């Protein structure tokens, strides 16, 4: 990276990111720079870094008809992630606020492919939330071939692929979600070859669940967009719900809605907040 660069800090239900504005692909974003930027004591702090870069300048393989903008997402440990649902919403707010895009409906490219954006509400003042719906792509799920060890129990897992891997487990009735110890990663058996984000879920009511998540490359976060989508997919499968009616998912950082389009694409709707602009010397 250069000696100094402008950044924006934003979050989606308190899943927070450092956004680096790099439209022409000039940055050499090394893992150690990501680690320094996301350090909550010695850096800006965040669950990850988003490099806002034009797809043609990003140095990636992309189809000729790919959208103009690419979300180059890095976990807090410097590793590359395929997708981030909260991150797409925050990136969308940044691109609109910066004047790079102007329409409330557009698309961005990610390592998991195209993700559509629909801005449902723009804020009237800086620092207020945007309301954004993201097309998350189609999901694939496999139930019952893996377990997760949590609170002394081996719980069955539903593997859900939302462009990145998730292991979703429902807690037994009476288990207090808020009291689980997620300071360390729960173990999966068998361990997936590319690791996985782990979601632990309880029922709250009809089409309503709550979850906590341990994200690979980060640890526990206040929210995870792809994990929320994966949780709703697993919850609908578990309930035998094929209605395509939306599900509500509560996370420590807020509440989001997951729906399905007529052709089966998963959608994620929730807030995006841009909280600060500045210059970093990292």
Catalytic site residues? 84, 224
Distance CA 139, CA 154 (A): 25
Report residue 168 as tokens: 């979703």
b/e code 149-160 from CB counts within 10 Å (16+ = b): ebeeeebebbbb
Contact between 164 and 185 (Cβ < 8 Å): no
DSSP string, 51-103: EEEEGGGTTS---TT--SEEEEEEETTS-B-S--HHHHHHHHHHHHHTTS--S
Q: Please report, for the chain, how many H helices and E strands are present, in that order.
A: 3, 17
Is the preceding peptide bond at 190 cis, omega within 30 degrees of 0?
yes
- Radius of gyration of the chain measured on its C-alpha atoms: 18
Report residue 206 as tokens: 């009809």
Distance CA 210, CA 222 (A): 12
């Amino acid at each position: 990276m250069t000696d100094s660069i402008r950044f924006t800090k934003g979050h989606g239900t308190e899943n927070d990111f450092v956004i680096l504005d790099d439209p022409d692909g000039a940055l050499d974003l090394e893992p150690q720079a990501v680690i320094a930027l996301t350090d909550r004591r010695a850096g800006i702090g965040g669950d990850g870094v988003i490099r806002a870069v034009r797809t043609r300048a990003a140095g990636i393989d992309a189809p000729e008809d790919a959208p103009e903008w690419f979300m180059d997402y890095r976990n807090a440990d410097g590793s590359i992630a395929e997708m981030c649902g909260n991150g797409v919403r925050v990136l969308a707010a940044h691109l609109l606020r910066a004047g790079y895009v102007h329409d409330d409906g557009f698309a961005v490219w990610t390592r998991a492919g195209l993700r559509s954006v629909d801005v449902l509400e723009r804020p009237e003042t800086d620092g207020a939330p945007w309301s954004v719906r993201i097309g998350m792509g189609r999901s694939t799920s496999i139930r019952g071939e893996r377990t997760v060890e949590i609170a002394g129990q081996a719980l069955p897992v539903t593997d859900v692929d939302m462009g990145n891997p998730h292991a979703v487990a429902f807690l037994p009735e009476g288990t207090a979600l808020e009291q689980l110890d997620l300071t360390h990663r729960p173990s999966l058996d068998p361990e997936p070859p590319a690791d996985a984000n782990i979601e632990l879920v309880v029922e709250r009511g009809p089409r309503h669940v709550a979850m906590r998540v341990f994200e690979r490359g980060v640890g526990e976060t206040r929210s995870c967009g792809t994990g929320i989508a994966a949780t709703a997919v697993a919850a609908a499968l578990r309930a035998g719900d094929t209605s395509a009616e939306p599900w509500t998912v509560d996370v420590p950082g807020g509440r989001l809605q997951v729906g399905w389009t007529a052709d089966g694409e998963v959608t994620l709707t929730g807030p995006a907040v841009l909280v600060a602009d500045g210059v970093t010397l990292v």
